[in-house]
Amino acid sequence: MKSPSAKNNNPAGLPAKKTSSLRTLTEENQRLRDENVRYTRYIREKTNQLLEVMGTQPLRPEEFDDSELLSLDPIGIIAGSFAQVYEYLNQTISDLSEARDELQAIFDATGVGISIIDQDFAIIKCNEKQRELLVDNQLDNVCGHHCYEVYCLKNGPGLDCPAVDTFATGRPVVVSEVRKKDKYFQLVTTPYAKDEHGAVTRVIEVALDITARKKAEEEERRQRGYYLAEKSKLASVLQSLSEGLLVTDSRNRIISINGAALQILDLSQKQAQELKVNELFADCPPEARTIFNVDNPDAFQNIEILFRGENKELLLSVNAVPLFDGDGNTIGRVFTFRDITDEKHRQEVLHRTEKLAAVGQLSAGIAHELNTPLGSILGYARLLLKGSNLLPEQRERLAIIAEQAKKSSAIIRELLNFSRLSAQPPDRTITCDLNKVVVETIKVLQTELDKRFITVHLDLSMLPAVTADPKRLEQVLVNIVLNSAQAIGSNGEINIASQCSGHEVQITVKDSGPGIPPKDLSRIFDPFFTTKPVGQGTGLGLSICAGIINDYGGAIDVRNAPGGGTIFTIILPLPGETHG
């Protein structure tokens, strides 16, 4: 009886040989399927690995089954991608090589020195400009050498080395000026590479050569120092000048003024620089006002200008020259001036003295020639008046002749006195108290002053004695005070003051009258000059006063007071001293 299994193993009743072949085929087919699964799994794994390398998500079974994966040929696709990547990499490498060459060209051609330095201060690389600036020609290759040896000729990095700070802090450092090998540089260091801990391992040092600028600055400082020294010398010279000096701009504004000018004009620096020069010298004669024209290239010399200050009037001699810029254009003027008030006064005194002497000699001759006939006329007129047979009309006419002869004799006596003053030297052995002379003078004139309702105020300081005849000084003061009283007329004041100033004593007589016309001030002491009506003065009184004061080595001056009135000033030197 046959077993069931045998019946099942060969259901179709096939021959045993064929059955064995079919089994073999089936086993082969299964092996191939198993191999295909392993191959597919291998392709999927390797494809996923490649995708992972490329940064792409791996293939999932639900997206691609094995048959689809095999039909897509992923290896071929990836191979093609790699071919494209390889081509791109080759192009990128070419571009990077070109960029590197360009950067190297820029690195070498830049106008600043550049070095790359490691933590040991060894030079990794430097450009050509750095070699030109700081590397000796004998040293062919600087790489590996210490920067402080090559660039600074030192045995180690100095405290002024910015790379030290950059390595320590990891921050860029700027040094505005450092000296290397007799050259000056501006240095900048900045981190170039760091390790995994963030520590700086390399720095870039950029060196800008500022030697030319430094030398230019030093030369500029030297020139500025020289300029300031010369300016200081010039300022010292200008300040030491005894003459006033001021500089104006193109608008006539005062931009500089020296101390002598401020002292002469009695102004402060602020007051002077708030004025224009044509305002300062407002009384410049009309014919000379072109001195203020900035466009006028001419120079002016010895222009006499009256300066009226708050407390005084001065006569100034002014010079002016144009101030030019580098192109020859006038940009202002330089004015120099000096006070010639005293000089002019001395000239007037000298001129007046010479005139007095000449007039005195002439007067003496005329007086002697006229005195005899006038005496005869007066004598005969008086003799005839004694006659008893004269008609009234004749007696009246003879009285007129006698009276006019007496007046003429009085004039001749004044001429003789005047001539004697100019010819006789004063007695210098007599001294007097000037204050006492003033008091005695007022006593003599008190009646006349009271009659005119004129009040006299005395402000007398303690004075030393002066060498002078008190009678002659009293004559001077009587003349001056009477002139003041006649100028006031009535209802006024006369102030008389005395003071000692240095080696001189001064008496000032100020009245409240109308003053003297400016055109007459320079002639007031001339002989025979008078502002009084005809017949009321001979014009010799003030001339005689000037002669007396001049004999004692003094001076007499007159000026109009700023508020009105006239001021006479008498100056006498102390014994053994001289005036002026």
User: What pLDDT does 5 receive?
Assistant: 45
pLDDT of residue 74: 63
39-53, 135-149, 288-302, 525-539: range with lowest mean pLDDT: 525-539
Q: What pLDDT score was predicted for residue 203?
A: 93
Which numeric CATH code is attached to 248-339?
A: 3.30.450.20
Q: Which pLDDT does position 539 carry in this prediction? A: 62
| d(C-alpha 390, C-alpha 387), whole Å | 6
Report strand pairing: 492-501 vs 454-460. parallel
The CATH classification of domain 110-209, taken from the options 3.30.450.20, 3.30.470.10, 3.20.20.80, 3.10.129.10? 3.30.450.20
Q: What pLDDT score was predicted for residue 517?
A: 85
Is residue 352 over pLDDT 70? no
In CATH, the architecture of 345-423 is Orthogonal Bundle (1.10)
DSSP string of 336-362, one letter each residue: EEEE-HHHHHHHHHHHHHHHHHHHHHH
Provide the pLDDT confidence category of residue 129 given band limits of 50, 70 and 90. Answer: confident
Residue with more model confidence, 41 or 194: 194
Find all residues with CB under 8 Å of 332, minimum gap 6, and list them.
247, 248, 249, 250, 255, 294, 322, 323
pLDDT at 318: 93
pLDDT of 422 strictly over 50: no
Segment 511-518 shows an average pLDDT of 88
Distance (Å) of CA 133 to CA 206, 330, 557: 12, 49, 82
* Superfamily in which the 431-573 domain is placed by CATH: Histidine kinase-like ATPase, C-terminal domain (3.30.565.10)
pLDDT of residue 460: 92
In this model, does residue 6 exceed pLDDT 60?
A: no
Question: What's the pLDDT tens digit per position in 437-482?
Answer: 999 889 888 888 998 899 999 999 999 999 888 888 888 898 899 8
For residue 76, the Cα-to-chain-centroid distance in whole angstroms is 89
Which residue bears the tokens 């200050």? 309
pLDDT of 567 above 90: yes
* Closest to 333 measured CA to CA, from 291, 302, 301, 304: 291
Closest-CA residue to 243 (of 266, 267, 263, 260): 260
| Interval 127-138 mean pLDDT | 84
Checking if the pLDDT of 11 tops 60, the result is no
Query: Cα(36)–Cα(222) distance, rounded to whole angstroms?
Result: 95
416, 364 contact by CB (below 8 A): yes
Of 535 and 452, more confident: 452
- Position 360 scores a pLDDT of 61
**Looking at the predicted structure, is the pLDDT value of residue 101 above 80?**
no
pLDDT in tens, 160-183: 889 999 999 999 999 888 888 888
Q: What single-letter DSSP state applies at residue 459?
A: E
332-352 average pLDDT score: 81
pTM assigned to the model = 0.43
What span, in angstroms and rounded, lies between the C-alpha atoms of 143 and 124? 5
Q: In the structure, what pLDDT confidence band is assigned to residue 7 with cuts at 50, 70 and 90? A: very low
Asked whether 328 and 351 are in contact (CB, 8 A), the reply is no
pLDDT tens sequence across 24-45: 888 888 888 888 778 777 777 7
